[in-house]
Amino acid sequence: MKNILIISHMYPSPSNSVLGIFVHKQVQKLINEGCKVKVICPVPYVPSFLGIIKKYKAYIDIPAKIFLDGVEVFYPRYIEFPRGVFLQYSGIFMYLGIKRTINELYNRFKFNVIHAHTAIPVGFASIFLSKKYNVPFVVTIHGQDFQYTIKKNSMCRKSVFKVLKDADKIITVSNKLKNVITEKHILNKTVVINNGINPEEYVINEQVKLKGSHIMLSVSALIKTKGIDLNIKAVSELIKTYPDLVYYIIGDGEENRNLRKLVNDLNLNRNVVFLGRLPHSKVIKYMSSKCDVFSLPSWQEGFGIVYIEAMNSGIPVIGVRGQGIEDVIEDKKNGFLVEPHQVEDLVFTIDYILSHKSEARIIGQNGKNTVLKEFTWLRNAQKTIDIYNEIMR
């Protein structure tokens, strides 16, 4: 019997139902495939007097333990410093914060594999736990470790690679991330297991009525690296040919104000609609509402589940060359790839999709077939269990 301890500081909670939802989806399939799983989701400690601030109150309100869709999830507190200060030591702080909860859990749940999601801080904390309980551990690299943490300072980089050296097995969610590793002894124990979706969750009977005869959609956090500004600039060119083109933006974030200003400056208020952050169920309805194109020209994606969600809806999807989505999209076969930061390439590709709708629909259907064949949480769980079996031997 495989008793798996999942540790992830990205996991849904009563305060944020979508944070780390991809880890929860994997956990559910692991359980369906016969694993017994408990989840530790470390939460930053916040003093009670800061509860008057909405952001911090959300952390305070998270309970010590809940059952989420039948999964027992613990939320122990650990000390975390704002803005990534002392990030290189965060794994130690996390271990100190979670060790008591895990010790109490171990008395009734003798886990034989630890699965850490991210190297820093979770993987570093798992080094200590692996030695203490004499069990192997596997670490999944989702993107932040390689796209942010190792670039912060030399100590952070050293800490990440310490985790990679000590882990029994390394999973990266895309070949893009695997290619960051150059040390042969680390590369030899690294395997790519892409994220996925549960196709049964995407059967929608109700669609959203959208205005415009040409519809473009994106779903993401509104941060600079997602390239939403590139989409908006592309729309300003495309409306010369397609004046009734409407671009729907789902998401929120720090770039919201700048993007709205850009829309106003380009006189696109009738062509660009900001929908804000929406529940996942509502997002799926928008994806299923006969959109002509899904475009997310993000240049810093470890993988990007939202792309395969859109592909599963049969929408022609645009991603960026050199990113994790290249594991899924073959240009002009089951989706489209554009060069990073290139508005001209984006305009050309969207124009091609809008002016070749029958061909684009075939490509969209090919994308859906690709997802259903290889990019599901069931396939992900099966491959992950193979890793557990290997390191348990």
- Domain spans of the chain? 3-196+376-392, 200-374
Same fold: 3-196+376-392 with 200-374: yes
Do 228 and 222 meet the contact criterion of CB atoms below 8 Å apart?
yes
How high is the pLDDT of residue 205?
74
**Cα 348 → chain centroid:** 28
Residue given tokens 């309970």 in the structure block:
63
Taking residue 61's Cβ as centre, other Cβ atoms within 10 Å add up to 12
Architecture of the domain whose range is 3-196+376-392: 3-Layer(aba) Sandwich (3.40)
Residue 244 φ/ψ region, left for φ over 0, alpha for ψ in the -120 to 50 degree band, beta for the rest: alpha
* Chain-centroid distance, C-alpha 170: 17
**Residues 66, 71, 72, 76, CA torsion sign:** negative
Beta strands in the chain (DSSP E): 3-7, 36-40, 43-44, 65-68, 71-74, 77-78, 113-117, 137-141, 169-172, 190-192, 214-219, 245-250, 272-276, 293-295, 317-320, 336-338
CB 78 within 8 Å of CB 112: no
pLDDT tens, residue order, the chain (393 aa):
699 999 999 999 998 888 899 999 999 999 999 999 999 999 999 999 998 988 889 999 999 999 999 999 999 999 999 888 999 999 999 999 999 999 999 999 999 999 999 999 999 999 999 999 999 999 999 999 998 999 999 999 999 999 999 999 999 999 999 999 999 999 999 999 999 999 988 887 777 888 888 999 999 999 999 999 999 999 999 999 999 999 999 999 999 999 999 999 999 999 999 999 998 889 999 998 889 999 999 998 889 999 999 999 999 999 999 999 999 999 999 999 999 999 999 999 999 999 999 999 999 999 999 999 999 999 999 999 999 999 998
What is the pLDDT, as a whole number, of residue 203? 82
Q: Nearest 5°: phi and psi at 143?
A: 145, -45
0.85 exceeded by pTM: yes
- Residue 1: the pLDDT is 67
Question: What gap in Å lies between CA 349 and CA 355, rounded to an integer?
Answer: 10
The predicted pLDDT at position 204 comes to: 77
In three-state secondary structure terms, 42 is coil
Of 36, 38, 29, the closest CA to residue 7 belongs to 38
Contact indicator for 199, 376 with CB cutoff of 8 Å: yes
- Neighbouring residues of 55: CB distance < 8 A, sequence distance ≥ 6: none
Segment holding 159, helix H or strand E: helix 154-166
Would strands 65-68 and 71-74 be described as parallel, antiparallel, or unpaired? antiparallel
Residue 221: predicted pLDDT: 94
User: Which homologous superfamily does the CATH classification assign to the domain defined by 200-374?
Assistant: Glycogen Phosphorylase B; (3.40.50.2000)
Task: Decide if 325 contacts 319 (C-beta within 8 A).
Answer: yes
